[in-house]
Structure 1
């Protein structure tokens, strides 16, 4: 088990380390916008945040810049909603993280309301999928 503080070890740095090392398991983020990411060796295979999974879950998780994380090795993914190899996963996470920046810049507390979606050309309400039946 690996754990840490996201203000000391940013999410992208943690993901780069885990993906480059070929670790498999679950990364859990403890934050109001937190969630979980599952890795197979060198690949991001599933994201879950609130009731969102896959692309939408990853978008929410990428907004997290503080809180704590825990990586539990060899925890299998409940689903395979993503298939992002190391470089593609890191590039995608950087893009998603940067798309949240304008939303937080206009927030007094730096924590945008849950209803906000990341800005950018590839974001739309139709892309947000819920895991609820």
Structure 2
């Protein structure tokens, strides 16, 4: 109290104004930036989750199509629909299968037999389908 009594009223008011201003700025800074950091963390978490979902869906798509093609081809072979002894039918099957999925990144479709025979089709450098 002795300090306040020794200072003039003008200095007391100025000191009170400066202290109030500093406290106000401190409170406003804390409220704004603590909420801002929390909001930024939530936004980053949301963006990371969205990216994770997008990558998962793309990856799942890359895995699902080849697996489906393998299962479909296996079923046709087991049921006798596909006859590998007929070269024309065999080649049409592989070329048709690869051509039907032209918008996908599938490069080749082929099968190897127990006897060491290898049949299939692939895309060449001109992106046209050729028999292997």
Query: TM over 0.5, yes or no?
Result: no
Decide which structure has greater strand share: 1
Tell which structure's C-alpha radius of gyration is larger: 2
TM-score when scaled to structure 2? 0.26
Compare relative contact order (CA 8 Å, sep 6+) and give the higher one, 1 or 2.
1
